[in-house]
Chains A and B, each alone.
Chain A
């Protein structure tokens, strides 16, 4: 797959999508520091912890994680990962995580990053991609996933809690990657 990939966003900003590299650690720390705390709260790991970002960097080149960045003028504006188990009953499933800077949301950047990772998943022979979203917090991402043929497979009621203790449902979405004839 060819990188870097050029994309033009809805507001005419030009962005580049490319794989995460070992040298990106300082910029990735800066990126996560710019993500609002209310968004970071719902992430799987505490990305303000340098060890967490170092773990992401260490995963570069390993077979079970593929991470990409979107950059504008060399600054990271989005980070996405496709996580694969590589063995067992769910080796055919990839899990997606995407984080976009607030000022770059609703400009189709997330969609381009997502489309790129869908291509990666298809190249790796995966059958399904899974993404989890907190309803009421990540509704824009749910809508974007819907447009790319992700569908709701389950909702876990009250699974996530806000800092104040308000419970939110977690929606699990899956996209099937057709290996032969598409459902078009």
Chain B
């Protein structure tokens, strides 16, 4: 379970006031309703289609599940910051140094209202953020291009504009899944307490090597 204290913020949008909550515990998540818009669409499927998936993530150590809630406690957006799974390249650097923004999603009717930015703010209010290398992977085949009416490149640009203000930089990597498509994206944020040796290890790891 997570020891971090949950934070709360609010933002007024044309759809009403949105509340953002960080470090939501499973019990808290169970109190809210999951928007049915997080489901399968014609050309797109949400990363999580069940509230239970968020609850399971929230049980893991250091994991930050952040939610965006409408006035009637409907989950209209969510984000998950967690350690990479065993066997993933990014888990190899050092134990629990790298954390992944595993998900950040806003339901279709609440997009373009700054909700994703609010969720990301909540994810990154993590007390260990300066001790971690936080990264995100953008696979173009998971993007809702149909719902956003964007090209893959425009969507990619939108993600870069979302993450850059929080200190994320775009990095090259030979990770095979990321390399499958040039529009795929890998960004990282190196915490201020990361040592130069660890940062160097991160660089080499991006190319599947050890120094």
Contact = CB atoms under 8 A, between A and B. Distances in A.
Interface size class of A (residues with CB under 8 A): 20 to 34
Contact of B172 (A5, A178, A180): A5
Given A123-B153, A180-B145, A182-B140, A8 B183 contact: no
A82 interface: no
B141 interface: yes
A30 interface: no
Contacts of B203: 6, 8, 14
A32 B183 CA distance: 31
A123 B160 CA distance: 13
Given A2-B169, A8-B206, A112-B172, A179 B182 contact: no
B204 interface: yes
B37 interface: no
Contacts of A8: 203-204, 206-207, 209
Interface stretch (A41-49, A88-96, A114-122): A114-122
B47 interface: no
Contacts of B1: none
B207 A180 contact: no
A184 B181 contact: yes
A137 interface: no
Interface size class of B (residues with CB under 8 A): 20 to 34
Contacts of A184: 140-141, 180-181
A87 interface: no
B152 interface: yes
Interface in A9-39: 12, 14
A108 B145 CA distance: 31
Given A6-B203, A122-B183, A12 B209 contact: yes
Contacts of B17: none
A7 B180 CA distance: 17
Contact of A6 (B151, B172, B174, B182): B172
Contacts of A14: 203
A122 B43 contact: no
16 contacts: A5-B172, A6-B171, A6-B172, A6-B203, A7-B172, A8-B206, A8-B209, A122-B152, A122-B183, A148-B182, A180-B145, A180-B151, A180-B152, A182-B141, A182-B181, A184-B140
Given A8-B209, A181-B141, 10 more contacts: A1-B170, A8-B204, A14-B203, A122-B152, A122-B183, A178-B152, A182-B141, A182-B183, A184-B141, A184-B180
Interface of A: 1-2, 5-8, 12, 14, 108, 112, 115, 118-119, 122-123, 125, 148, 178-182, 184
